[in-house]
Chains A and B, each alone.
Chain A
């Protein structure tokens, strides 16, 4: 069971440059597997370019009450990176002028940011179409001060997206920590109680499924149906959609792949499942990711690899839609994670 982040443990994989080096060596350096850039060239796409900005994803901090084994953020209680109100104000200014229809708050546990509620209230005033908060569920039951989160989410019509690796306790706790399954079930019941996830309800509750190991996710619709059946019959819990997300080989998941001697096979699986149709809709083409300190990235994964947008505008304070729209998206071999099979994004499959 993990209790500390890679960063706190001073593990070499807390270093973004080291991760990028690993992703460019081994089977990719020997030519056994093609680099992601060559794969793009093979389908006549020399570079990835952004389309219309639809989603602004803001990471309000890496602090989390959980230390999940697969976490690409390397989040945990020992992470102190937290977005300040000053940066939040800069984000609000940008939300007003981007025209993006979706605002997506993530972390860590976004609710742990002391200015989280202030930010939600202010952002709601601007009126985006879809306002997402990625909640790990257990935060709702972690402390008395969070017990009213379901009511708070309801008041501001927040779209709640929560992680749930399996409908059984064993698999969930192995990935996310002891006690996480029971706490998640309790939190889901609290959300259902105020109307979240109920059939026909406008209070959207979606679940995210990440495989708990070195394998790719199966068919999203089939998994959704199995999750729905099991959660309803065993726990009387309801939700709307299930998004299946492929684990990208970075940070703690990369550490796990290497330590368990699964890295090469996993990369083979990702490359073999490369789907040109998924490239068309990969999320970095319609999303911008903002870090806790206001830097801009093509996606949350590039944020963790410290690959800032390739543009003269790199910070939220100098945001300029036109300048950013002409950039080229930064890629490396981790990108195979978003183009495998039916594709993968923070909104699930993309094909």
Chain B
């Protein structure tokens, strides 16, 4: 066993999850493939959304994959960092908005 939880080469083996449950694995990859097709949003826009979400869910595999995907599509580093900030802003906002709960509780418990 590897001494590390994450190994970059594991990304190449992602498809192998189908080995242990073909039906669910296949359904997932079909769904995944369909989601990223050109639709009401362009494949390019979806790639940037995926990059932002990759950071929010802190998935190193996804970050590698969607940085490379963006480069292939000619997405610039300026666009990539703005997408990452959009994700980060929502994530920090999600933390901060809980401050309202803290304030409510504080007020309720205080005389």
Contact = CB atoms under 8 A, between A and B. Distances in A.
B73 interface: yes
Nearest to B69: A218
Contacts, number: 29
A215 B76 contact: no
A218 B68 CA distance: 10
B76 A217 contact: no
A222 B44 contact: yes
A272 interface: yes
Interface string A15-46: 00000000000000000000000000000000
Report the contact-size class of chain B (Cβ under 8 Å from the partner). 10 to 19
Interface in A208-239: 211, 213, 215-219, 222-223, 226-227
Task: Specify which of B12, B71, B72, B74 lies most central, judged by the most chain A CB atoms within 10 Å of its CB.
Answer: B74
A268 interface: yes
A178 interface: no
Nearest to A171: B76
Contacts of A216: 72
B74 A223 contact: yes
A112 B76 CA distance: 34
B12 A218 contact: no
Given A222-B44, A268-B12, A272-B12, A213 B74 contact: no
A168 interface: yes
Interface in B12-68: 12, 43-44, 68
A215 B67 CA distance: 10
B42 to A, nearest CB: 8
A177 to B, nearest CB: 20
Interface in B56-106: 68-69, 71-74, 76
Contacts of A72: none
A227 B68 CA distance: 19
A204 interface: no
Interface in A180-218: 211, 213, 215-218
Nearest to B12: A268
Interface in A246-282: 268, 272
Contacts of A222: 43-44, 73
B71 A213 contact: yes
A222 B38 CA distance: 11
A215 B43 contact: no
Contacts of B43: 219, 222
Contacts of B73: 218-219, 222-223, 226
Nearest to B64: A265
A166 interface: yes
A268 B12 CA distance: 9
Given A222-B43, A222-B44, A217 B72 contact: yes
Interface in A144-198: 166-168, 171
A167 B73 CA distance: 12
Contact of A166 (B12, B44, B68, B74): B74
A218 B76 contact: no
Nearest to B38: A222
B74 A226 contact: yes
B46 to A, nearest CB: 12
Task: Specify which of A215, A218, A223 lies most central, judged by the most chain B CB atoms within 10 Å of its CB.
Answer: A218
B51 to A, nearest CB: 14
Given A222-B43, A222-B44, A211 B12 contact: no
Nearest to B44: A222
A40 B29 CA distance: 27
Contacts of B76: 168, 171
A211 B76 CA distance: 12
A215 B69 CA distance: 9
Given A211-B72, A218-B69, A222-B43, 4 more contacts: A211-B71, A216-B72, A217-B72, A222-B73
20 contacts: A167-B74, A171-B76, A211-B71, A213-B71, A215-B68, A215-B71, A216-B72, A218-B69, A218-B72, A218-B73, A218-B74, A219-B73, A222-B43, A223-B73, A223-B74, A226-B44, A226-B73, A226-B74, A268-B12, A272-B12
